[in-house]
Structure 1
């Protein structure tokens, strides 16, 4: 296996780095020499990342974390400025942090509808806004996390689908707005991935999760793993994705083809 070092001397913020896809992205970027700062409300998961990354850090690669919610404006401002003050620069922002709420549409309260929008969409907006001036200086890039639920009508997920549709639209808008400044903005669009978030969704719905439509259509559906998605995040965030901006890359094992 070829050892990559695409993130040597690159300062990378990963939101949602305490579990699931975000944690896999942290491992991948550190293993390629990145200086990674993870943000999450899950302090236990963030601390677990210390031992994980110590074993795989490439030359110069290192990991640290900051506990906080990306949906809080002052927290986002403070953390991103702290990162830039400590490291002297910011090269990449990878937004993975998100929450999922599942319920029958007519039984969904306004609060339940707004929760994923506040974290997934508003949180992504805040981190992108605060990171952008620093990324302009380094000609850096952003990779956001969308979802197949934004495009393919997953049931019981109106709020989540709306939030991820917003992330996709905002990604495309920013890619055009900052193209001349040399900042690329892309997104990854995962399908069903084996993560704590997906497992908790299945429990809330009595086992009826986002792969429901696949079972109804008699598709032999197998969830992907976080590392499958992390590999695509890493490609887009690295020089290998240097001729890509405004792209929404689907990673779902072909289920939505």
Structure 2
């Protein structure tokens, strides 16, 4: 685990969703290490506590963090989290939407409720946090970084619901980028490929052995997976002034698998 020597987010107030594990936790660590005042939210309370201990060790540039348990798909919870951050810190500079779930299953065997699970978390959660954050980001000329996926634009089998949710995230990212372009708010997204996280590891248990082999070969043919910290650095680039001339972009981070 590397610690950045940069301090691009000194005194910047940042919300990170899905901050309890995987990419989200790595993003929290990275932003805090660069001096950000981070509020991370997740439904996984245990993971948030573990992440808090890591941030304490890594926040070398004056950053700090707080952790809030809440669902991104719960409208009242989202409203409260955003307002509490602004009331406490006086501003909001960036929103990093990472929270997500995967459901791998043949579309034939997928119920409507099962199809809606990724839609509710991945797409509606991104919408709710973006809607609540934007009035505050307009004041600071801040930005949003969403989480898309290579599944949105390449054929990943058994992932129709997940792919649909991430396709929606990509389209919403581009729409918001244009809507707020002249008002100084940037909106971009990161599209990870196969990244070694609890989300991707736990998800593989849903597939039969023959389907799992196909799934793995299509997503990562050489069976090598990226690390969360490698992806977190791209979120930091997009949210910082180094990415100041980027908006409406979907940045693929997949180790070259889909080239």
TM-score when normalising by structure 2: 0.95
Report the equivalent of 1:16. Answer: 18
| Structure 1 residue 212: Cα displacement | 3.2
4+ runs deviating over 3 angstroms = 206-214, 216-219
C-alpha distance in 1, partners of 2:219/2:31? 37
User: Is the CA contact 1:146–1:165 (under 8 Å) kept in the aligned structure 2?
Assistant: yes
Q: CA deviation at 1:203?
A: 1.1
Change beyond 3 A, Cα 1:202–1:28: same
Q: Which residue of 2 aligns with 1:67?
A: 69
1:114-125 pair list within 5 angstroms: 114-125=116-127
More divergent stretch after superposition (205-214 vs 38-47):
205-214
Instruction: Provide the C-alpha distance between the structure 2 equivalents of 1:167 and 1:80, rounded to a whole number of angstroms.
Output: 20
Match of 1:154 in 2: 156
Q: Which runs of 5+ in 2 are unaligned?
A: none
Q: How much does 1:216 deviate?
A: 6.0
Partner of 1:45: 47
Q: Distance in 1 between matches of 2:99 and 2:242?
A: 24
Mapping 1:4-153, distance limit 5 Å? 4-153=6-155
**TM-score, length of structure 1 as denominator length:** 0.96
Alpha-carbon offset, residue 221 of structure 1: 3.6
Aligned CA-pair RMSD: 1.8
Residues in 1 aligned to 2:184 and 2:218: alpha-carbon distance in whole angstroms: 45
Q: Could you tell me which residue of structure 2 aligns to residue 246 of structure 1? A: 248
| CA–CA distance in structure 2, aligned partners of residues 152 and 211 of structure 1 | 17
Structure 1, unaligned runs of 5 or more: none
Are the aligned partners of 1:29 and 1:234 in contact in 2 as well (CA < 8 Å)?
A: yes
The offset of 1:217, in angstroms, is: 10
Q: Is the 8 A contact 2:26 2:229 kept in 1?
A: yes
User: In 2, are the aligned partners of 1:201 and 1:209 still within 8 Å (CA)?
Assistant: no
Q: Return the alpha-carbon distance in structure 1 between the equivalents of residues 220 and 89 of structure 2.
A: 51
In 1, distance between residues paired with 2:31 and 2:219? 37
Check the 8 A contact 2:156/2:219 in 1, yes or no.
no
Find the residue that maps to 2:181 and give its secondary structure. Answer: coil
Distance 1:218 1:20, change over 3 A: closer
